Structure 1
C-alpha cells in the first residue's frame, strides 16, 4: 500500500485535520490488511473480529466529519459486512475477506490522491462495494495465514484515541538526536576530567544529577524515532495470501518478535528487501502441492518471519520449509547465464556457490513472470542492506528449506556498554547481552579441554568457551596479567549462551553507536563503532557474529541430555506415524489413502486418457498405465492422477484435488466386505473413506505388464512362407519375448529356436545346445511320440516356451 503524501501546512485548521486523518488512516489500513488475513485463519476469534470492526469504524467516523463521501461509503460497506458476521447473518469465508481487502485497497488509493491534491477524487465505487455485498456460495480454498498477532483493544484505544500527539518532521528529530549525542560525548569527557582531577565530592554529586538528567533526555529522544517492528510486518500477511492464491499454494504464515523496536528510517530502508525475500520464498522456495506430496512434506507450507535484538543490531529471519537451494544447480545456472565461467565455478566453495544468487543478473526462475525471473532481485536486496551497514546471511538445508537472515544496525543510538580489553586493545560489549562476569581463575569456574575446544563450567552449568584473541586472530599482549583474565557469560539470543574470555574488564559506559566502515562490518565480528570518554574510537563487538565465527553450538537446549532425548523420541514418533493423503474424488467425496503407497501426484492433459479393451488407460511419457475409472472422464484441460505403486506395477487413480496430509487416526471402522473402501475414519470431526490399495491392485494385477526383467530371445527358423514373421512374431512379443527372424543378423545366442516346419533340419541353428520347438501345420499329432506343437494352439505354444525358457510369461 502506498502511503499518502501529506499536504504542507497552510495555516488552516481543516488542513491540519486532513493531515491527521490521512496519517491515522494509513496506519489503520496497514494494520487492518494484515489483521483480517490473520483472522481468516481463525474466524471463531470474536475479539479479533471486534478489533477489526473498530478499525474500520474509526475510518468511517473520521471521514464523515471531513465530508469525504466516497471514503465514508466504502468504510460503511466494510463495517456493515463485518457487523453481519458479528451478528451471525453472514459466514466468515474467503469471499468476504477478499471483498473487505478490495475495500481497503480502494481506500488506500483514495487517501493517496487526497494527500496529493487535498480533494477527494470523483468516481464510482459500486464495483468493490457490489463485490463485497455478493456472497459467493462456492468456497475458495483457504490460504492459511497464522501467527500474526493483532493488537487488542487496549493497544488500539491507546494509540488511536487516547494519545494526544503532534507530528514532528523527521529531519527535526535527526537534529535533536545529533544534539543529544554531542551532549552525551561531552558528558563522558567531563566525567574523565573529574576522575583525573580528583574533584570535590559535592561537585561529583552535582555532576551525577546532571548525568541522570541527560540519560533520561537521550532515552526519550531515542524513543521518538523508534517504532515497533510489527509495523514492518503488517503488510506481509496480505502479500502472502494474495500471491499464494495466485500460485495455487497453501501457506501458513507466522511472525514473532513484533515487540522489537527499530529506528523508523532503518525500517523504511529494509521494507522493500524484506517484501522481496518473502515473495521469493513463495514463488521459488515453496514447491507446488504435487511436489510437496512427492517429497513427503506437509501439504501446507510454512513461512515464518521473526525479529530479535542482538546488542546494537536487529536480526530479521525469514524461514521457509520449501525446496531450499541446490548449490550445483546454482552453479549450472550461473555458467549457463555467463555469470561465471566453468573454470571459476570449479574453484568455488560451498558457501560461494550459494552466494551466486547475489550476483547481478542472476535468477533461478525458469521463466519470467510477474513475480520474478528478470535477474533483478537478491543482488539489489544485498546491496540495499549493506548500504545501511547490515549483512545478509544464507542458511540452506537443501530439499528442506532456506533461512535468510538480515542483520541491520539500529543506527544512531546510545546503549549501555561493557568495556573489555584483549590483545592490548579495548572493545565494547552491549550490556544487555551480558549475563554474568567472573574471574577466569575463580573457585566457581572450571575450564576443560574437549575435542580441540574448551568448555567452561560455572557452578555446574556448562558453556562453550571462546577466547577473544583467538577469534580476532591476535596474540595476547605480553603486559596482560593472567590473574586479571575474566569470563563474560554472554547471551546473544534466546536459547543461546557462551563464555567469552577477555584480558580484563574496564568499565560500564553510555556509548554512542554509529555504523562502522563497510569493510569492518563485512567481517561479521563488529556491530558498529563508538567514542568512549577517553576519546579513542572503540569497536562494538557483535556477540552473535563472534559465535558464528567460532562455529560452535551455543544452544542451551542441547546441554540437557534428558530434554534432548525426549525431543528425539518425539521426532521419531512423528516420523513413524502413518501419513494419510486426503483428496477429493471425482464424484466430490473426501477420501484418503496411505501416503506410502503413492509414487507421485501426476497432472496430465485429459487427452492422455483413452479406452482400450474395455479399460481406461493413460499415456504418460513413453509408458501406458491402467486407470481406475469405469468410463473416460469428460471435459478438457488437465486432471490429477494418484500414481499408486506396489514395487512392481503402477495404477492411476483420478482425483479432483489434493486437500491435505494428516496423521492416520488409530480408530478405523472397517467395511463389511472387501472392496474399494477399506473403512471410514474421522478426520477433524468429518468422516473420510479410506481407499483399499490392496483391493485396487488386485483388480488390475491380471492385466499388468510383465516385470522389467530380461526378455528371452526367440529365433524363428525355416519361415519359408512368412507365416512366422506375420502371425507368430506378434504373439511372442505380446507375451514378453524378443523375436529374431531367420534372415535377421544377431550376435546374441537365442534362448529357444522355433522351427516353422516339423520336417527336415532346423535352419539357422547355431549348435545343438539351444532348445528347439517345432511347429506343425496339422491339428492332429502323428503319434504319441510327436513332440511338435500345432501352430495355432496358442496356449500349448506358450506352455512349451515356459518349460524351455523358464518363468510364467503367459
Structure 2
C-alpha cells in the first residue's frame, strides 16, 4: 500500500478545490486499474471477483462525482454501472462488444479528468454516443471517444498548463519509508525532551537555553510537517458531507438538519482514505432508507425536519466515527423477510437468528432494503463493502438500533502512532498522562471555589455552582494513596471526554505539559479499557496515557452536563416540563393556500391517496382508503388529477379526513390564542414566527361529521336471527334493511353457535319460532297492519321506524336508517 502526498503549487485553493484535486487523483488511479482489469476480464468472463471489482470501480467514481456536481462523469459512470450490473445479475452476456464499450467509457472519463485538471470545471460535451455503445450487442469496435479537452494550445499556454496540472498531481511514497521517517522524528522528539530535562537540572546559561529553544522550535516544525504527512484532521473527511446531505435531501423531498462534530480529531491519512467511501455510503443510506418521508414522520409524531449527525472522537486506542439519524431505524423481522425474499436465507435459517443476527444481515453481499434500483441505492452494493474496508484496516462496524426512532452506525478504526500534547499527573507514586485536549480546567482541591460532598457511595465536586462527579485516580486504579504526597498539592482536573460530558479526576499532583509520543501499550494493559497507549516523557520513565472515556465507563458514572448547575436547577426543570407538556401544532398549507394549524394530538396520520379514491355519495364527499370509507371535509370533489394529502383526524372512535396542500412543520402551540368570534372551522388565530396562523377547531369538525364518521367505523354489529321465515320474506325484504341499519342477519340455524342479540319471529304463531332463550329478547313481526289484540306486543313488518326503534330498545347498536 502507498500513501499520497499532494504536491501543491501556486496560490492557496479553496476547500472545494481540495475536494476536486482529491477526486482527480483518486479517479486517475481507479481508471488506470479499471483498464487493466477490463482487459483481463475479457479473457475470462467467468471471473466473478474481477467483474465485481470493475463494478466497484465505476460505482466509486459515480458516488464521488455526485457531490462534486459533475453530471457528465456521473452519467458515464452510472451507464457503465448499469451495464455491468446486468452481467452480474445474469441478464446480459459478457462479450467483446461490452468490454469495448466500457473501455470507451473509461477513455472518456480519463479525457474529462484531464479537462477538469486544466479548466477546473467540467467541459460541455455530448456523451450520448459513448453511452449508446453500451447497448450494442454486436462485435464491431466502438469509435474512439471524442476528446473532452480543448484544442491544442500555444507553447506559452502549454507552460501555464503544466503548472495547473501540478495542482492535482500526487507522488506515492511507500508506507515503510513514511514509517521510518516518523520513527526518526519520534526519536528526535524524545531526545529533545531528555536534553530539556538535562538543561533544567544543570542550570545552563541563557545563551545555551536560547540556542536549545531555536532547535526545539525547528524540531516542532519538522514534527508537525512529518505528522501531517501521515495524520490528518478528520474535518477534511467531513467536508463534503453537508453538500451531499443538502443535494440528496432536496432530491428525495426531505427536510434534514445536518451536524458534524469532532473535526479536530486526527486520523491516519491512509485510514481516512479507506473510510471515506464507506462514510459517504452510510450517510446516503441514512437519507434514502433511514429517514422517513415527511408524511410518515408526521404520522409517527416526529418533527418534520429530520436530524442527521456525524461525530468523531478518540476512545482508547481507537477513533470512533458515528453516523446517527432519527429515522425509522431497522426492523430485524423486516430484514429477515427481505433476506428470505432475496434467497439469501431460508425461512428455517431466519427463524434461528437472534434479533442482533438479523440486524447483521445488512452486511451480507447483495442484500438491499431498497424497493427499487435508483441512482442513490438499491443494487445491494454497500454495507458489505463498508464492513470489508473497515476490517481490512483493523476496524469494525457497530450498529446501535432503536426501531422506529433511529439508527447509529459506529465505525471504529485503530489509532496509529501519533504525537499529542499531554498533561502529566501523579497518583499512587506513579505518573500518568491526560490528553491536553480533554482537559477543561485544573484547580487545587483545597481552593475556596471547590466544595466536595459525599452523595450515596460517591463524591460530587461543586465548582462555582456547577457540579461534577468526582473520581479519585487511586480508587480507579485500585491503588493506595502514597503517604508521602502533600495534601496541599492535591488537584482536581475537570475533563470533557465527549460532547455533553464532563467529570472531575482527583490526582496527587500536577506536573508539566509535554508533547508525548503515543504508542499502543501491551494488549493486557489496553484490555483494561483505562489507557489509550504508552509514552516516554523527558524523564525517560514509561508513562501510561489515560483514556478519559474509558475511565468514565469503568467508574459507571453519569457525566451528562445537563442539569448540573445548582443555581436555577428547579427553574430549568420546570421549563423543561413546560416544553414537554406544551401542545404541538401541525402547520399546513390548506387547499385554498391559507396557512393553518391543528393540534398534532388529534391527527392519526397524514395520508396521500389518489384523487380517484374520493367520491360523492348522498351529498357527502367520502374517501375510500383500503377497505374502509371515511367522510371528507369538502364541499365538492377536487377538480385536479394525481394525488391529494388527507389529514386523518381521530377522536378515539371515528375518523374524519381533512384535505390539505402540504405539511409545513410541527411547532409548539403558542399560549396566546386570539379566539374566533363565533364557533366554526377556525377556533382562533395565533402568531408563529411572526406570521398569523388559523387554528382549526377539531371539536366543531367532529361535531358536524360525527354521525357520518361513526356510521363508517367498524364496530361489533349485533346479530339478529330470523325464525319462522316460511315464505322467504325475511331473506328478501327484511335482511337487506337490517344489514343497512348495521346488524348482522342469520337464520335460526345459521348462527354457528354464536349467541344472538335478538330473535325476530316472522310466523303468525310464536310457537313456530321456538324458544329464543332466557337472555335473548324476541320481537314478533306481524303481517297485518292492525294488531289482533290491544295488548299484543308485536310490530307491523312494514313499519320501518317502529321495527328499528324496537331493536334499539332491546339490543342497542346499529344505526338509524
User: Normalising to structure 1: TM-score of the pair?
Assistant: 0.70
CA distance in 2 between counterparts of 1:640 and 1:272 reads: 38
Question: Which residue number in structure 2 is paired with residue 753 of structure 1?
Answer: 759
Q: Is the 8 A contact 1:755 1:774 kept in 2?
A: yes
Q: Is the 8 A contact 1:31 1:231 kept in 2?
A: no
CA distance in 2 between counterparts of 1:240 and 1:470 reads: 46
CA distance in 1 between counterparts of 2:276 and 2:568 reads: 38
Question: Which residue number in structure 2 is paired with residue 124 of structure 1?
Answer: 124
Matches within 5 A, 1:319-718: 319-324=324-329, 356=360, 360-361=364-365, 365=369, 367=371, 369-370=373-374, 371-372=376-377, 377-378=382-383, 380-381=385-386, 384=389, 399-404=404-409, 411-419=416-424, 427-434=432-439, 450-455=455-460, 462-468=467-473, 475-476=478-479, 488-492=492-496, 493=498, 496-500=501-505, 509-514=514-519, 524-533=529-538, 538-634=543-639, 637-666=642-671, 668=673, 671=676, 673-706=678-711, 710-718=716-724
Q: By how many angstroms is 1:756 displaced?
A: 0.9
Question: Which residue number in structure 2 is paired with residue 206 of structure 1?
Answer: 208
User: Against the structure 1 CA distance between its residues 558 and 344, is the aligned structure 2 distance closer, same or farther, given a 3 Å change threshold?
Assistant: farther
Matched, 1:181 2:186: yes
CA distance in 1 between counterparts of 2:357 and 2:534 reads: 32
Question: Which residue number in structure 1 is paired with residue 794 of structure 2?
Answer: 788
Per-residue CA deviations over 1:235-280 (Å, capped at 9, x if unaligned) read 2222112221232211122345656666655544443343233223
Q: Is the 8 A contact 1:640 1:656 kept in 2?
A: yes
User: Against the structure 1 CA distance between its residues 665 and 462, is the aligned structure 2 distance closer, same or farther, given a 3 Å change threshold?
Assistant: closer
Q: Is the 8 A contact 1:315 1:408 kept in 2?
A: yes
Moved more, 422-431 or 696-705: 422-431
Q: Secondary structure at the match of 1:491?
A: strand
User: Against the structure 1 CA distance between its residues 288 and 718, is the aligned structure 2 distance closer, same or farther, given a 3 Å change threshold?
Assistant: same
Q: By how many angstroms is 1:784 displaced?
A: 3.0
CA distance in 2 between counterparts of 1:670 and 1:297 reads: 28
Question: Which residue number in structure 2 is paired with residue 283 of structure 1?
Answer: 288
Q: Secondary structure at the match of 2:769?
A: coil
Question: Which residue number in structure 1 is paired with residue 740 of structure 2?
Answer: 734
Moved more, 217-226 or 543-552: 217-226
User: Against the structure 1 CA distance between its residues 514 and 774, is the aligned structure 2 distance closer, same or farther, given a 3 Å change threshold?
Assistant: same
CA distance in 1 between counterparts of 2:684 and 2:481 reads: 79
Q: Is the 8 A contact 1:389 1:518 kept in 2?
A: no
Per-residue CA deviations over 1:409-432 (Å, capped at 9, x if unaligned) read 774432333455678976432244
Question: Which residue number in structure 1 is paired with residue 13 of structure 2?
Answer: 24
User: Normalising to structure 2: TM-score of the pair?
Assistant: 0.69
Unaligned runs of 5+ in 1: 9-15, 33-99, 128-164
Moved more, 117-126 or 682-691: 117-126
Q: By how many angstroms is 1:358 displaced?
A: 8.0
Question: Which residue number in structure 2 is paired with residue 244 of structure 1?
Answer: 249
CA distance in 1 between counterparts of 2:811 and 2:575 reads: 53
Per-residue CA deviations over 1:46-91 (Å, capped at 9, x if unaligned) read xxxxxxxxxxxxxxxxxxxxxxxxxxxxxxxxxxxxxxxxxxxxxx
Q: By how many angstroms is 1:770 displaced?
A: 3.7
Q: Secondary structure at the match of 2:563?
A: helix
Q: CA RMSD in A?
A: 5.0
User: Against the structure 1 CA distance between its residues 557 and 782, is the aligned structure 2 distance closer, same or farther, given a 3 Å change threshold?
Assistant: closer
CA distance in 1 between counterparts of 2:759 and 2:573 reads: 62
CA distance in 2 between counterparts of 1:539 and 1:389 reads: 23
Question: Which residue number in structure 1 is paired with residue 51 of structure 2?
Answer: none
Moved more, 304-313 or 206-215: 304-313
CA distance in 1 between counterparts of 2:473 and 2:720 reads: 78
Match of 1:292 among 277, 284, 297: 297
Q: Is the 8 A contact 1:325 1:397 kept in 2?
A: yes
User: Against the structure 1 CA distance between its residues 312 and 672, is the aligned structure 2 distance closer, same or farther, given a 3 Å change threshold?
Assistant: same
Q: Is the 8 A contact 2:291 2:306 kept in 1?
A: yes
CA distance in 2 between counterparts of 1:199 and 1:25 reads: 48
Q: Is the 8 A contact 1:176 1:221 kept in 2?
A: no
Q: Is the 8 A contact 1:7 1:118 kept in 2?
A: no
User: Against the structure 1 CA distance between its residues 180 and 295, is the aligned structure 2 distance closer, same or farther, given a 3 Å change threshold?
Assistant: same
Q: By how many angstroms is 1:660 displaced?
A: 1.9
Q: By how many angstroms is 1:366 displaced?
A: 5.1
CA distance in 1 between counterparts of 2:549 and 2:254 reads: 35
User: Against the structure 1 CA distance between its residues 651 and 403, is the aligned structure 2 distance closer, same or farther, given a 3 Å change threshold?
Assistant: same
Question: Which residue number in structure 2 is paired with residue 802 of structure 1?
Answer: 808
Q: By how many angstroms is 1:542 displaced?
A: 1.7
Q: Secondary structure at the match of 1:754?
A: strand
Per-residue CA deviations over 1:75-134 (Å, capped at 9, x if unaligned) read xxxxxxxxxxxxxxxxxxxxxxxxx9997767998996237886999963699xxxxxxx
Per-residue CA deviations over 1:566-590 (Å, capped at 9, x if unaligned) read 3333332223333222223344444
Matches within 5 A, 1:131-146: none
Moved more, 173-182 or 288-297: 173-182
Q: Is the 8 A contact 2:307 2:326 kept in 1?
A: yes
Q: Secondary structure at the match of 1:632?
A: coil
Q: By how many angstroms is 1:392 displaced?
A: 6.2
Matched, 1:724 2:713: no
User: Against the structure 1 CA distance between its residues 280 and 563, is the aligned structure 2 distance closer, same or farther, given a 3 Å change threshold?
Assistant: farther
User: Against the structure 1 CA distance between its residues 768 and 678, is the aligned structure 2 distance closer, same or farther, given a 3 Å change threshold?
Assistant: closer
Unaligned runs of 5+ in 2: 22-65, 75-108, 128-166
CA distance in 2 between counterparts of 1:652 and 1:301 reads: 26
Q: Is the 8 A contact 1:481 1:503 kept in 2?
A: no
Q: Secondary structure at the match of 1:511?
A: strand
User: Against the structure 1 CA distance between its residues 793 and 262, is the aligned structure 2 distance closer, same or farther, given a 3 Å change threshold?
Assistant: same
Q: Is the 8 A contact 1:187 1:211 kept in 2?
A: no
Q: Is the 8 A contact 1:789 1:796 kept in 2?
A: yes
Q: Is the 8 A contact 2:433 2:546 kept in 1?
A: yes
CA distance in 2 between counterparts of 1:220 and 1:168 reads: 21
Question: Which residue number in structure 1 is paired with residue 149 of structure 2?
Answer: none
Q: By how many angstroms is 1:722 displaced?
A: 0.7
Matched, 1:218 2:249: no
User: Against the structure 1 CA distance between its residues 566 and 287, is the aligned structure 2 distance closer, same or farther, given a 3 Å change threshold?
Assistant: farther
User: Against the structure 1 CA distance between its residues 27 and 529, is the aligned structure 2 distance closer, same or farther, given a 3 Å change threshold?
Assistant: farther
Q: By how many angstroms is 1:209 displaced?
A: 4.4
Q: Secondary structure at the match of 2:767?
A: coil
CA distance in 2 between counterparts of 1:289 and 1:182 reads: 57
User: Against the structure 1 CA distance between its residues 769 and 217, is the aligned structure 2 distance closer, same or farther, given a 3 Å change threshold?
Assistant: closer
Q: Is the 8 A contact 2:459 2:471 kept in 1?
A: yes
Q: Is the 8 A contact 1:396 1:403 kept in 2?
A: yes
User: Against the structure 1 CA distance between its residues 343 and 767, is the aligned structure 2 distance closer, same or farther, given a 3 Å change threshold?
Assistant: closer
Q: By how many angstroms is 1:787 displaced?
A: 2.7
Q: Is the 8 A contact 2:316 2:533 kept in 1?
A: no
Per-residue CA deviations over 1:388-447 (Å, capped at 9, x if unaligned) read 677766666554444555566774432333455678976432244345667889999876
CA distance in 1 between counterparts of 2:523 and 2:349 reads: 28
Q: Is the 8 A contact 1:591 1:691 kept in 2?
A: yes
Q: Is the 8 A contact 1:616 1:632 kept in 2?
A: yes
Per-residue CA deviations over 1:131-157 (Å, capped at 9, x if unaligned) read xxxxxxxxxxxxxxxxxxxxxxxxxxx
CA distance in 2 between counterparts of 1:650 and 1:326 reads: 29
Q: By how many angstroms is 1:747 displaced?
A: 2.8
